[in-house]
Amino acid sequence: MSQSPSTTDQPQTTSGDAANGQTASLPPHDVTDLGLAAEGVRRIEWAEREMPVLRLIRERFEQERPLDGLRIGACLHVTTETANLMRTLAAGGARVALCASNPLSTQDVVAAALVAEYGISTFARRGADRETYYAHLNSVADTKPQITMDDGCDLVSLLHTSRRTELAGVLAGTEETTTGVIRLRAMAADGALEYPVVAVNEARTKHLFDNRYGTGQSTVDGVLRATNILLAGRRVVVAGYGWVGKGIASRFKGMGSQVAIVEVDPIPALEALMDGLLVKSAAEAAEWGDLFISATGNLNVFRGEHFRTMRDGAILANSGHFDAEIDLRRLLELCGGKVREVRRDVQEYDLGDRRLYVLGEGRLVNLAAAEGHPAAVMDMSFANQALAAEYVVRNHEKLEARVHTVPADIDREVARLKLEALGVHIDQMTPEQERYVSSWQEGT
Ligand SMILES: NC(=O)c1ccc[n+]([C@@H]2O[C@H](COP(=O)([O-])OP(=O)(O)OC[C@H]3O[C@@H](n4cnc5c(N)ncnc54)[C@H](O)[C@@H]3O)[C@@H](O)[C@H]2O)c1
């Protein structure tokens, strides 16, 4: 899909140096159209209603200013929920610069609102080409961040490669997603990671809810918005039965689809079977399925040998972090370049005897064709982000340059606040129970 920006606001290199009087007081930015800001504000406020935990944290941050004067560089999906995280960090006293972690997930109305209404430096345009994407990452690096906040490790990678001069000033970072954590662990194992990073993805209040229920629902949403197909009775193949795959499979099953799982690890494969799903090899599934969704964090999961046997009209989508899970280069070769967009976010590859359809250019379908996770789920992920930022600011001197987990008390506090906001009560152990579970002497 090639969506070109409708206007061309030039990046403002320093706050207040704009030649254009109207933007003179705005922070540095590069967004599609500042005129979209009012709609962005309405949508950010709508999301905020579903984010009570983040709102409570923002209110505390306003009082305590735990991030006072700190420069935070963030590379996240530019959505309404991210906007509420940026507002929270700014309320804590941080100077924040944001760029997109994926060119197709950017909501232009949100980018405009962040700049024009909330004074947050934002570099993001939906549909940005590769060059612009990296220019935006570099614009964030230009602000010399002391804390990095990543979704997929692109900012950390940039700072460890072409922008190493900025590395010395970085105190610590946080990482949002599974793929980013895998990349960071690989860097740490090579001795290449030069500052501590907290893996927000590892918090239970993140992956159990965001990866599973958030991606599950929003993947269904992305597929429906792009195609408007009936899901009942449809044969859906989900590659990967990790947290994301489990969520996607359960949601499609709930909509009446027949679901088959493709795995490389026998344990989740067995789990899928016992969850009542079909388990097939990718080759078997290719012949069987109508809709294929990858969620593995791996490469070329659906590839040439599978495209050859897929039925006419088969649809392919990806919910894993990178657009590498469907081998689109091979698909393009197989169809001799005969590709056309038949609906917004639906590309038809004409193989002669059959046509295959790819959603959102193989990028995360829930963000490319829908709006990403519902705000109520991002509330917990971003509460972890905000509290992890506060934690690394307080503790960076004690933390080694490796990947750290979110402290258990932060994780539990996020869940406690969420339950409180939902008006749900749980029990506490009685003193007798406390003694029982912590004693080795008590038994039958
Ligand atoms: N779309 C979104 O909004 C969103 C949200 C969260 C995470 N993610 C991304 O989704 C991906 C999966 O995340 P997760 O938390 O489920 O990870 P996970 O590690 O829990 O699960 C991945 C699963 O894929 C399997 N797998 C690996 N290679 C495979 C292959 N070639 N064929 C079949 N299965 C294979 C693994 O065995 C594993 O069970 C990551 O890239 C993550 O960053 C996307």
Instruction: Assess whether pLDDT exceeds 70 at residue 1.
Output: no
Give me the phi and psi of 339, to 5 degrees please: -125, 140
Among the atoms of ligand 1, which is closest to the Cα of residue 296?
Answer: 24
- What distance in angstroms lies between residue 294's CA and the mean position of ligand 1's atoms? 8
Asked if residue 358 lies in contact with residue 316, where contact means CB atoms within 8 angstroms, the answer is: yes
Structure tokens at 262: 């493709």
Asked if residue 51 lies in contact with residue 376, where contact means CB atoms within 8 angstroms, the answer is: yes
Instruction: Assess whether pLDDT exceeds 90 at residue 56.
Output: yes
User: Residue 43, CB half-sphere, CA atoms under 13 Å: how many?
Assistant: 21
H/E element holding 218? helix 215-227
- pLDDT for res 240: 98
Asked if residue 43 lies in contact with residue 109, where contact means CB atoms within 8 angstroms, the answer is: yes
Pick the residue whose CA is nearest to atom 38 on ligand 1: 242
Which pLDDT tens digit goes with each residue over 31-52?
999 999 999 999 999 999 999 9
- The arithmetic mean of pLDDT across residues 412-435, rounded, is 95
Which pLDDT tens digit goes with each residue over 106-122?
999 999 999 999 999 99
Which pLDDT tens digit goes with each residue over 399-412?
999 999 999 999 99
152 in contact with ligand 1, CB cutoff 6 A = no
268 in contact with ligand 1, CB cutoff 6 A = yes
Amino acid residing at 246:
K
Instruction: Assess whether pLDDT exceeds 90 at residue 397.
Output: yes
Question: CA–CA separation, 20 vs 42, rounded Å?
Answer: 26
Pick the residue whose CA is nearest to atom 27 on ligand 1: 296
- 10 Å CB burial of residue 411 (0-12, 13-18, 19+) is buried
Sign, Cα dihedral of 54, 58, 61, 66: positive
- pLDDT for res 441: 77
- pLDDT for res 347: 98
- 239 SS3 class: strand
Query: Of all residues in the chain, what percent carry a pLDDT higher than 70?
Result: 94
Q: Which of 78, 105, 176, 178 to mutate to test the pocket of ligand 1 (most atoms within 8 A of CB)?
A: 178
- What distance in angstroms lies between residue 214's CA and the mean position of ligand 1's atoms? 14
- What distance in angstroms lies between residue 277's CA and the mean position of ligand 1's atoms? 18
pLDDT bracket for residue 22 (50, 70, 90): very low
Asked if residue 386 lies in contact with residue 375, where contact means CB atoms within 8 angstroms, the answer is: no
Give me the phi and psi of 148, to 5 degrees please: -105, 150
178 in contact with ligand 1, CB cutoff 6 A = yes
Instruction: Assess whether pLDDT exceeds 90 at residue 12.
Output: no
- 10 Å CB burial of residue 434 (0-12, 13-18, 19+) is exposed
- 321 SS3 class: coil
Question: CA–CA separation, 267 vs 346, rounded Å?
Answer: 34
Among the atoms of ligand 1, which is closest to the Cα of residue 246?
Answer: 16
- What distance in angstroms lies between residue 323's CA and the mean position of ligand 1's atoms? 13
- Answer yes or no: pTM beyond 0.75: yes
242 in contact with ligand 1, CB cutoff 6 A = yes
- pLDDT for res 17: 35
Asked if residue 155 lies in contact with residue 76, where contact means CB atoms within 8 angstroms, the answer is: no
**Which residues have CB under 8 Å from 166's CB, separation 6+?**
141, 144, 145, 159
102 in contact with ligand 1, CB cutoff 6 A = no
- Nearest partner of 293 among 339, 332, 340, 326, judged by Cα: 326
- What distance in angstroms lies between residue 183's CA and the mean position of ligand 1's atoms? 13
Distances 205 to 13, 105, 148, 395, 419 between C-alpha atoms, Å: 38, 23, 21, 21, 12
Asked if residue 53 lies in contact with residue 383, where contact means CB atoms within 8 angstroms, the answer is: yes
- What distance in angstroms lies between residue 90's CA and the mean position of ligand 1's atoms? 32
- pLDDT for res 440: 82
